[in-house]
């Protein structure tokens, strides 16, 4: 499918919305100069347009297969992955000590966005490896780092994350995989894991699995979980793949979408593993990888939204149907008001979700560079919003793309449906969007709302500054922010968590709506009479008002939900 990398959009967001200059002003990221960033975006865009986008349909039509215990990947994926690895795109943000570029997560997020739009199934592989690299950088022993990080950073080896078991999905503490100490300091890992993205492939010589397991003396629940690195092939004395480990791919899942991405059931039968971090402290180490992945998954949603939008726009500009009702119309369906509404919604929502993801990434970069508690709090607060709203946007925009195609959207040959099938799972994995929302109103408000209020103060300051140029846009943003402040105060005041959880999802969406209004307002301030100002007017006038409905839902409490008896739900 043709794809145009939105390099100019990223540069605009970096310069006028996200504030990348604040990141690059730190010593940690001083080498990420505007010239370097521009070159990275340009080269990544070419890779996505010329190498990855042509693999989108082949991966869907020719899924990965398991043949005699060997995973066979989709046509062209080996060459596509090789281009990713050789270009250094796997580990843009990784520590230069192990071969990474050491660039900001903000830049990595932009690259992941483009790669997701071009071919989400293949992009999942480097995303998993990126998360493993970060977990090992923070928690692994020096010996493990020296053996594994150079191979993972270069893309020579790939990484996975093994959490889920048949009886332990969101309740990770229910896992039963066992780890028994060996005499040589290693551990024997036994158990079965499901839903393992890119659990194996036929184009890298080794696959490294991070596996959650329980030691014999472990406590029940999450406090008794440890994390282990379990490679497909055990490295020899030279650090090269040696003998095969005692693990295998049992089967590949038959999925709604992401056919090119092999999602494996993994079996470990006394496989040799190495402890990452401390015993019984595996969740802390794994959360390093999971938080990385949550931003990455939200970014996947944004990328798919952009791909679906571009696909729908091309169709709207070509499809002739009905008579144009406007003077000097094109004669295609883009002349029709409802088609314009759909396209404007898709474009405006994608911009908002992209801005939120990049703002979250910039906060992570500032936390990395400064270790300041306020940046850490902001990054933590924005992460569940970036994940949930990014994936929600991907699903909503892909669904609208099908609608815009009309009957042809329901025909697989047009490719419109693939975007929706591929992106749908992103709202489920790395913590469902409901769990992200519960985290937002739970742990992320344990500070009494301090991080939330700091963000709301910043949005209101922007609205005040915008009154001179765009009073008609500034006022609705300011008012929506005040309403959201009151909703945040309501959440903080309610100690009964069911009252918070009952409105968690609409609260998250209301926050995302206001953050989106903020991003569009900033864009309008720097493009006063241009396309971005016109798009901001559309978003703030037509989409931002949804925040009020979300707030009403968010602050309704839980009584009406529990007034419904179980038998009231009977069909």
With H, G, I as helix, E, B as strand and everything else as coil, classify residue 296: helix
Packed helices 416-423 and 373-405: angle between N→C axes, nearest 10 degrees: 150
Please give, one letter per residue, the 3-state secondary structure of 311-353.
HHHHHHHHCCCCCCCCCCCCCCHHHCHHHHHHHHHHHHHHHHH
Q: What is the pLDDT of residue 1?
A: 65
Is it the case that residue 291 has pLDDT exceeding 80?
Answer: no
pLDDT tens digit sequence for 429-443 = 888 999 999 999 999
Residue 179 has pLDDT above 70, yes or no: yes
Largest CA distance in the chain: 82
CB contact set of 198 (below 8 Å; sequence gap of 6+): 124, 125, 128, 158, 160, 207, 261, 262, 264
> Tokens in use for 315?
């169709």
User: Do residues 7 and 41 touch, judged by C-beta distance below 8 A?
Assistant: yes
Q: How far apart are CA 456 and CA 514, in angstroms?
A: 9
Over the range 380-417, which residues count as b (16 or more CB within 10 Å of their CB) and which as e? bbbbbbbbbbbbbbbbbbbbbbbebbeeebeeeebbbb
Distance CA 115, CA 84 (A): 10
Angle between helices 531-538 and 471-493 (to 10 degrees): 50
Coil, helix or strand for 4?
coil
pLDDT in tens, 34-85: 999 999 999 999 999 999 999 999 999 999 999 998 999 999 999 999 999 9
**Rounded distance between C-alpha atoms, residue 143 and residue 149, angstroms:** 10
Res. 321 pLDDT band, cuts 50 70 90: confident
Confidence of residue 219 (pLDDT cuts 50, 70, 90): confident
Segment 447-451 shows an average pLDDT of 97
Q: For residues 77 and 97, what is the distance between their CA atoms, to the nearest angstrom?
A: 29
Residue 406 gets which letter from DSSP? G
- What is the rounded CA–CA span in Å between residue 83 and residue 155? 10
Over the stretch 477-515, which tens digit does the pLDDT of each residue have?
Answer: 999 999 999 999 999 999 999 999 999 999 999 999 999
If you write DSSP's letter for every residue of 348-369 in order, what string do you get?
HHHHHHHHHHHHHHHHHHHHHH
pLDDT at 459: 98
Lowest mean pLDDT among 318-322, 420-424, 445-449, 453-457: 318-322
Report the pLDDT averaged over residues 274-298: 87
Alpha helices in 104-179 (DSSP H): 105-139, 142-154
Confidence bin at 175 (pLDDT 50/70/90): confident
Q: How far is it, in rounded angstroms, from Cα 197 to Cα 131? A: 13
pLDDT over 70 (residue 455): yes
**Structure confidence at residue 155 (pLDDT):** 96
Tokens matching residue 65: 């297969």
How high is the pLDDT of residue 292? Answer: 76
Return all residues near 565 (Cβ < 8 A) that are at least 6 apart: none
List, for residues 333-351, the tens digit of each pLDDT value: 999 999 999 999 999 999 9
Given a cut of 70, whether residue 106 has pLDDT beyond it is yes
- Asked whether the predicted pLDDT for residue 30 surpasses 90, the reply is yes
Q: What is the pLDDT of residue 529?
A: 84
Question: How far is residue 362's CA from residue 453's CA, in Å, rounded to a whole number?
Answer: 18
The two beta strands, 241-244 and 207-214, are: unpaired
What mean pLDDT is predicted for residues 528-533? 91
Q: How confident is the model at residue 571 (pLDDT cuts 50, 70, 90)?
A: confident
* pLDDT digit string, tens, across residues 383-416: 999 999 999 999 999 999 999 999 999 999 999 9
CB 353 within 8 A of CB 326: no
How would you classify the pairing of strands 207-214 and 158-162?
A: parallel
Q: Which residues of 169-197 are buried (b: 16+ CB within 10 A; e: fewer)?
A: eeebbebebbbeeeeeebbbbbbebbbbb
Flag whether pLDDT at 313 surpasses 90: yes
pLDDT in tens, 228-261: 999 999 999 999 999 999 999 999 999 999 999 9
Q: In degrees rounded to 5, what are phi and psi of residue 241? A: -55, 125
134 a catalytic residue: no
Determine contact, residues 514/494, Cβ cutoff 8 Å. Answer: no
On average, the pLDDT of the chain sits at 95
pLDDT of residue 338: 96
Average pLDDT over every residue of 144-170: 91
Residue given tokens 């966005």 in the structure block:
113
Phi, psi of 24 (to 5 degrees): -75, -10
CA 52 to chain centre: 18
Quick one: tokens of 182? 């060996």
> Which one from 134, 137, 430, 460 is the annotated catalytic residue?
430
- What is the distance of C-alpha 150 from the center of its chain? 25
Q: Which two tokens stand for residue 417?
A: 């449906």
Euclidean distance between CA atoms 320 and 177, whole angstroms: 58
Region of residue 106 (left: phi > 0; alpha: psi -120 to 50; beta: else): alpha
The predicted structure's pLDDT at residue 108: 96
């Amino acid at each position: 499918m043709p794809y145009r990398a939105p390099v100019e959009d990223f540069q605009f967001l970096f310069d006028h919305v996200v504030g990348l200059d604040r990141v690059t002003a730190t010593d940690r990221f001083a080498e990420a100069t505007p010239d370097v960033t521009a070159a990275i975006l340009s080269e990544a865009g070419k890779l996505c347009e010329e190498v990855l986008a042509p693999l989108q349909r082949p991966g869907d039509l020719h899924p990965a297969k398991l043949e005699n215990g060997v995973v066979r990947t989709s046509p062209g994926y080996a060459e596509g992955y090789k281009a990713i690895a050789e270009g250094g795109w796997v580990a843009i943000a990784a520590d230069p000590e192990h071969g990474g570029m050491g660039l900001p997560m903000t830049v990595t997020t932009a690259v992941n966005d483009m790669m997701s739009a071009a071919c989400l199934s293949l992009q999942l592989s480097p995303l998993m490896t990126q998360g493993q690299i970060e977990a090992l950088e923070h928690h692994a022993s020096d010996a493990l780092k020296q053996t594994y990080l150079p191979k993972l950073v270069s893309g020579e080896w790939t990484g996975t994350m093994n959490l889920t078991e048949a009886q332990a999905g969101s309740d990770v503490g229910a896992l039963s995989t066992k780890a028994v100490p060996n005499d040589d300091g290693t551990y024997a890992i036994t158990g079965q894991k499901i839903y393992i993205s890119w659990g194996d492939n036929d184009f890298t010589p080794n696959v490294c699995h991070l596996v959650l397991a329980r030691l014999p003396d472990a406590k029940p629940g999450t406090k008794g979980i440890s994390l282990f690195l379990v490679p497909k092939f055990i490295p020899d004395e030279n650090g090269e793949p040696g003998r095969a480990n005692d693990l295998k791919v049992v089967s590949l899942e038959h999925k709604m979408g992401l056919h090119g991405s092999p999602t494996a059931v993994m079996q470990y039968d006394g496989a040799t593993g190495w402890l990452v971090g401390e015993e019984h402290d595996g969740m802390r180490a794994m959360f390093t990888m999971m938080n990385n992945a949550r931003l990455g998954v939200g970014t996947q949603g944004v990328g798919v939204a952009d791909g679906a939008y571009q696909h729908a726009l091309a169709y709207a500009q070509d499809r002739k149907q009905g008579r144009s009702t406007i003077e000097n119309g094109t004669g295609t369906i883009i002349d029709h008001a409802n088609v314009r509404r759909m396209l404007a919604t898709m474009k405006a929502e994608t911009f908002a979700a992209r801005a939120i993801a990049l703002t979250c990434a910039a906060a992570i970069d500032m936390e990395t560079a400064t270790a300041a508690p306020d940046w850490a709090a902001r990054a933590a607060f924005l992460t569940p919003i970036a994940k949930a709203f990014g994936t929600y946007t991907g699903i909503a925009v892909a669904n609208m793309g099908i609608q815009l195609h009309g009957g042809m959207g329901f025909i697989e040959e047009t490719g419109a449906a693939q975007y929706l099938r591929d992106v749908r799972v992103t709202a489920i994995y790395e913590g469902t969007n409901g769990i992200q929302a519960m985290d937002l109103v739970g742990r992320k408000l344990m500070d009494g709302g301090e991080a939330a209020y700091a963000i709301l103060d910043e949005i209101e300051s922007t609205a005040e500054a915008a009154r001179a140029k765009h009073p008609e846009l500034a006022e609705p943003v300011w008012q929506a922010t005040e309403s959201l402040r009151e909703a945040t105060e309501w959440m903080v005041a309610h100690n009964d968590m069911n009252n918070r959880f009952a409105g968690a999802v609409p609260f998250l969406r209301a926050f995302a709506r206001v953050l989106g209004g903020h991003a569009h307002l900033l864009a309008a301030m720097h493009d006063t009479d241009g396309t971005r100002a016109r798009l901001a007017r559309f978003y703030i006038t037509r989409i931002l008002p949804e925040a009020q409905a979300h707030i009403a839902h968010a602050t309704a409490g839980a009584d009406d939900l529990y007034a419904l008896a179980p038998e009231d739900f009977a069909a």
